[in-house]
Structure 1
Amino acid sequence: MDKQQQYERVFGYLDKNGDGKISAPELQICIGKIGEELSTEEAEMVAELMDSDGDGLLSMEDLVKVVEAANEEEKMNDLKMTFKMYGDDHDCIITPKSLKRMLSRLGESRSIDECESMIAKFDLDGNGVLDFHEFKDMMMS
């Protein structure tokens, strides 16, 4: 089953009345079934924010945008957590020393020179360390 078929299956499940749109109450019920709580106001706000044609209902395309936006947000949060693990505790950067320390924790023994070389490949501003944007570029390539 490809991604589009998965979206269609989920959409069909959420669209309880089969009208080809997901209403705020349908969205609220769905969120409740996965163990989360969404108030009526929150469900209406989500439907309004993600609705592309102004009818207050989510189409299949709107659902895909919601899911993909949530996936992107989750990826970004994962990257931020990973960055913090590798980074220097004080400056929110990855230094050769902090990279060496983290690699060592993972069972990878690297010299400071090797860590400097690894950082240099993605150090866009040439300052010898990686900030979050450089780290993100590295992880996404």
Structure 2
Amino acid sequence: METGRISPRELHICVESMGGNLSESEAEAALVLADSDGDGELGLEDFVRLMEGAKEEEEKVEELREAFKMYEMEEGCGCITPKSLKRVLGRLGQAKTIDECKSMIAHFDLNGDGVLNFDEFRIMMS
């Protein structure tokens, strides 16, 4: 029976059909956060609010990707090195030594490889 409301399973199917990736457990968690009346399903207003939030998050990630590209040593290399950080900061009028840049990177270098990947950069920028 159609209720005009969206269950966690339907949310999962909807997102997957649009090419997104949302597990059923993630759909359940999203529904708990967005369900304004606590009935376990999303009404139209809840669904619109959830989708707008997802779009805003996608836009933020895209802006961070563009910023990350500025700092990469070589385009597409996927990491920020102390040397590339020094170069960009110098262009921005914030001259730093290589050691200072290494120290800055070390604070957010979760895997200890001496460079920042995109996920580490996202954490640094949040």
TM (norm. structure 2) is 0.64
The answer for the alignment partner of 1:95 in structure 2 is 81
Name which of 114, 126, 130 aligns with 2:112.
126
2:61 equivalent to 1:85: no
Two-structure CA RMSD over aligned residues (Å): 2.2
Q: Deviations over 1:26-52 (max 9, x none)?
A: xxxxxxxxxxxxxxxxxxx89x96xx8
**d(CA) in 1 for partners of 2:51, 2:111:** 34
The answer for the alignment partner of 1:15 in structure 2 is none
Name which of 62, 67, 70 aligns with 2:47.
62
Q: What secondary structure does 2:113 align onto? A: coil
Q: What secondary structure does 2:87 align onto? A: helix
**d(CA) in 2 for partners of 1:83, 1:66:** 26
**d(CA) in 2 for partners of 1:100, 1:69:** 34
Deviation at 1:128, TM superposition (A): 0.5
Deviation at 1:105, TM superposition (A): 0.9
- How many aligned positions are there? 89
Between the aligned residues of both structures, percent identity stands at: 48
The answer for the alignment partner of 1:105 in structure 2 is 91
Unaligned runs of 5+ in 1: 1-20, 22-44, 53-57
Q: Which structure would you say has the larger Rg?
A: 1
Q: Deviations over 1:6-34 (max 9, x none)?
A: xxxxxxxxxxxxxxx9xxxxxxxxxxxxx
Q: Spell out structure 1 runs of 4+ moving beyond 6 A.
A: none
TM (norm. structure 1) is 0.58
**d(CA) in 1 for partners of 2:78, 2:53:** 28
